[in-house]
């Protein structure tokens, strides 16, 4: 997409309120991991990581 895309990418925050964060992707990774763990824990049968734990 060229140089203009990289300029735009450097000025854009993909997660609200994290434009000044040093690693804005960290918020998404931590949030996604937490959501995954909670969703698998709430599932009626043992799935994902919880099938190994129990």
Per-residue model confidence (pLDDT) at position 10:
77
- Residue 22: exposed, middle, or buried by beta-carbon count in 10 A (0-12, 13-18, 19+)? exposed
Per-residue model confidence (pLDDT) at position 8:
81
Q: Write out pLDDT tens, residues 40-51.
A: 777 777 666 667
Per the CB < 8 A criterion, the answer to whether 51 and 43 are in contact is no
Q: Write out pLDDT tens, residues 5-41.
A: 888 877 776 666 666 566 667 778 888 889 988 887 7
Task: Answer yes or no: pTM beyond 0.75.
Answer: no
């Amino acid at each position: 997409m060229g140089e203009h895309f990289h300029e735009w990418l450097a000025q854009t925050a993909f997660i609200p309120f994290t434009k000044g964060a040093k690693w804005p992707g960290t918020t998404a990774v931590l949030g996604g991991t937490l959501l995954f763990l909670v969703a698998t824990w709430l599932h009626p049968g043992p799935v994902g990581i919880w099938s190994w734990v129990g």
